[in-house]
């Protein structure tokens, strides 16, 4: 009797204390919620400006939730919106428990969370866990004296030789990775800008405090985190030099180093596994900025028992800079066989937009649809970047005085920085593309009159409507949701084709990555895919409703998606 009562109390607790959407941890086929979700990255400064100061903000995002829901987005990842001096536009956090006044208030965040729930959109934040801003009170305390209790929260070292940094490590943004601090006559370590000192993750108090940050946000309703720069969370405990490669210099004039001592140290995996446990307690998801360069590294981030980062972002796709079926095929094959759930990303706030990487100036719209058809039909989770769905392109600064990204300021002219891929979202044909009535913090791309949400919504052939149809298919088509990936015509140098097969049903994807029309025989039988014919589900060019899979004609840079019959 007592047990029954306890059971009832437990059930009531589950029903009322855990929000409805969080209770459906795993679907009928055994997938946790994030495996079939479409994620969408928002760069908050550039998405929507509600208070007309030229800077995007949280209420701006809230006002666009209906749009995201119309598009078919399930989760948004918001790039850092915490208080920050903005040396690196939010990736320098001075307080993990609040919202930057540029973006609003904690109440605005609560409102965003509250409004996203009924629309079934989950909200993820960007967790910059490797380093803080030098304005963070933790660092201020740490630098105040060698005896300060937080001294060891950061990485402090003596000079190697008088007035020389402790070793040869360089910062990603140029120069030595060490900065001298005269208050205590020691150097502190910063992998990125000097105002972004690295935390010392070998100190258990750092781990405890940072894990508590995530708990605090989970309780507020956040559904997970994108983990920033986890590969540089630990450095060699003996601070050994990195080997220098050749005599070449990089864009910042620094020697090129093989980063074996300041990156990918084994201890980081223990931290990520423990952080995952905290996330699991909240049915949350961790996306990792892992920058893996090979499949062995990627596997490590999933964890031997899939107990580490749920979604290590595989940027290998994003670093393919030409439309090469062979290169994409190889990547898909690797990631699909990694043992973890695949994640596909084609661009983000650090990576040039698809239009710029692959566009030929003539077929750019076709190419935007082609790339969408690729990363949104593969087995795995796709992470979109705001504006890809309307065909936004990079709008790079033309003059050094216009550059806002410190990377571009330091690296000009060889490295122009990342402003180009962070320009304001294009909503309509009004001034500043409807982003803000005030001059925006970055200039809007001139093409906005044709490439904006409002105009494209009313054009059935727009990139936007293409994306919307793809997202809708992705949510409903069983073969796209569950099907295994089967590469087709693996020797074809111009056309990338594959099937996604599930319970005798297959979706077929044919992507012509060349500038001439191609006729393709999918040779389905040779791969054990049985079909009498195929019907078109979605195509970026005019196609008949039914096609013969042994003779499909695909226009230049065309994408055809069909289903076996
Ligand atoms: C990774 C972020 O994606 C990037 O934008 C930032 O500049 C670096 N972390 C350093 O903060």
Positions of E strands within 412-556: 484-488, 495-502, 505-512, 518-520, 534-539, 546-547, 552-554
Mean pLDDT of each 10-residue bin along the chain, 565 residues long: 47 43 62 96 98 98 98 98 98 98 98 98 98 98 98 98 96 96 98 98 98 98 98 98 96 95 97 98 96 91 96 88 96 94 96 94 97 98 98 97 95 94 98 98 98 98 98 97 97 98 97 98 97 97 96 98 97
CB 132 within 8 A of CB 138: yes
d(CA 479, CA 473): 10
Which entry of 108, 134, 228, 563 is annotated as an active-site residue? Answer: 228
The two structure tokens encoding residue 384: 């979109």
The pLDDT of residue 315: 83
pLDDT digits (tens, 9 = 90+) for 444-457: 999 999 999 999 99
Which entry of 281, 304, 551, 565 is annotated as an active-site residue? Answer: 281
d(CA 553, CA 404): 46
The pLDDT of residue 21: 39
If one residue of 78, 85, 86, 88 were mutated to test the ligand 1 pocket, choosing by the most ligand atoms within 8 A of its CB, it would be 88
d(CA 266, CA 379): 29
pLDDT digits (tens, 9 = 90+) for 351-368: 999 989 999 999 999 999
The pLDDT of residue 25: 60
Ligand 1 centre from 79 Cα, in Å? 10
Burial 153-192 (b: 16+ CB within 10 A, else e): bbbbeeeeeeeebbbbbbbbbbbbbbbebeebebbbbbbb
Ligand 1 centre from 196 Cα, in Å? 10
Burial 465-504 (b: 16+ CB within 10 A, else e): ebbbbbbebbeebebbbbbebbebbeebebbbbbbbbbee
d(CA 158, CA 86): 29
d(CA 232, CA 31): 31
Domains in the chain (CATH in brackets) are 2-130+207-235+272-470 (3.20.20.80), 484-564 (2.60.40.1180)
Q: Give every CB contact of residue 9 below 8 A, 6+ residues apart in sequence.
A: none
Ligand 1 centre from 487 Cα, in Å? 34
Ligand 1 centre from 229 Cα, in Å? 7
pLDDT digits (tens, 9 = 90+) for 376-414: 999 999 999 999 999 999 999 999 999 999 999 989 999
Return the ligand 1 atom nearest residue 348 CA.
3
Residue 275 — left, alpha, or beta (φ > 0 → left; ψ -120 to 50 → alpha)?
A: alpha
Q: What is the pTM of this model?
A: 0.94
What is the three-class DSSP state of 331? helix
The pLDDT of residue 29: 80
Query: Is 228 marked active-site?
Result: yes
Return the ligand 1 atom nearest residue 228 CA.
1
Positions of E strands within 45-96: 75-78
Q: Residue 122 belongs to what H/E stretch?
A: strand 122-127
Would you say the CB of residue 350 lies under 6 angstroms from ligand 1?
yes
If one residue of 91, 351, 410 were mutated to test the ligand 1 pocket, choosing by the most ligand atoms within 8 A of its CB, it would be 91
Of 230, 110, 263, 256, which Cα lies nearest the Cα of 174? 256
Count CB-CB contacts under 10 A for residue 84: 23
Ligand 1 centre from 414 Cα, in Å? 19
Return the ligand 1 atom nearest residue 192 CA.
10
Query: Is 126 marked active-site?
Result: no
């Amino acid at each position: 009797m007592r047990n029954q009562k306890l059971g009832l109390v437990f059930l009531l607790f589950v029903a009322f204390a855990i929000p409805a959407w969080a209770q459906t941890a795993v679907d009928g086929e055994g997938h946790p919620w994030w495996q079939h979700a479409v994620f969408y990255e928002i760069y908050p400064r550039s998405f929507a400006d509600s208070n007309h100061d030229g800077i995007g903000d949280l209420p701006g995002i809230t006002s666009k939730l209906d749009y995201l829901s119309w598009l078919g987005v399930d989760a948004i990842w918001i790039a850092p919106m915490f208080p920050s001096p903005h040396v690196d536009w939010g990736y320098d956090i001075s307080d993990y428990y609040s919202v930057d006044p540029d973006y609003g208030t904690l109440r605005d965040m609560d409102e965003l969370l509250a409004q996203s729930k009924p629309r079934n959109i989950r909200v993820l934040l960007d967790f910059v866990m490797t380093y803080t801003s030098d304005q963070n009170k933790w660092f201020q305390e740490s630098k105040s004296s060698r005896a300060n209790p937080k001294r060891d929260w950061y990485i402090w070292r003596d000079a190697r030789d008088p007035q020389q940094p402790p070793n040869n490590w360089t910062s990603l943004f140029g120069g030595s990775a060490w900065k001298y601090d005269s208050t205590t006559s020691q150097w502190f370590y910063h992998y990125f800008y000097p105002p972004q000192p690295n935390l010392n993750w070998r100190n258990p108090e750092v781990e405890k405090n940072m894990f508590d940050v995530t708990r605090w946000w989970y309780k507020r309703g956040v559904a997970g985190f994108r983990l920033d720069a986890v590969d540089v969370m630990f450095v060699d405990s003996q601070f050994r030099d990195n080997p220098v490669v050749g005599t070449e210099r990089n864009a910042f004039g620094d020697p090129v180093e093989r980063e074996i001592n300041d990156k990918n140290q084994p201890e980081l995996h223990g931290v990520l596994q423990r952080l995952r446990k905290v996330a699991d307690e909240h049915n949350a998801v961790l996306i990792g900025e892992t920058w893996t360069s090979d499949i062995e590294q990627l596997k490590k981030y999933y964890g031997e028992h899939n107990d580490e980062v749920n979604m290590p972002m595989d940027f290998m796709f994003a670093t393919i800079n030409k439309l090469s079926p062979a290169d994409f095929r190889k990547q898909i094959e690797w990631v699909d066989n990694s043992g973890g759930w695949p994640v596909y990303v084609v661009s983000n706030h650090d990576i040039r937009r698809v239009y710029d990487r692959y566009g030929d100036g003539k077929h750019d719209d076709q190419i935007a649809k082609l790339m969408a058809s690729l990363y949104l039909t593969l087995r795995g989770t796709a992470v979109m970047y705001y504006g890809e769905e309307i065909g936004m392109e990079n709008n790079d600064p033309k003059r050094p005085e216009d550059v806002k990204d410190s990377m571009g300021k330091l690296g000009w002219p060889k490295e122009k920085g990342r402003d180009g891929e962070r320009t304001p979202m294009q909503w309509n044909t009004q001034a500043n593309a409807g982003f803000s009535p005030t001059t925006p913090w970055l200039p809007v791309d001139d093409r906005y009159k044709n490439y904006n949400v409002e105009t494209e919504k009313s054009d059935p052939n727009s990139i936007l409507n293409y994306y919307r149809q793809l997202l809708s298919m992705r949510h409903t088509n069983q073969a796209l949701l569950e099907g295994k990936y089967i590469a087709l015509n693996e020797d074809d140098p111009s056309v990338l084709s594959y099937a996604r097969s599930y319970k005798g049903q297959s979706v077929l994807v044919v992507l012509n990555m060349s500038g001439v029309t191609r006729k393709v025989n999918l040779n389905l039988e040779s791969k054990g895919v049985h079909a009498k014919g195929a019907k078109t589900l979605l195509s970026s060019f005019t196609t008949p409703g039914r096609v013969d899979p042994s003779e499909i004609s695909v226009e230049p840079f065309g994408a055809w998606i069909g289903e076996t019959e």
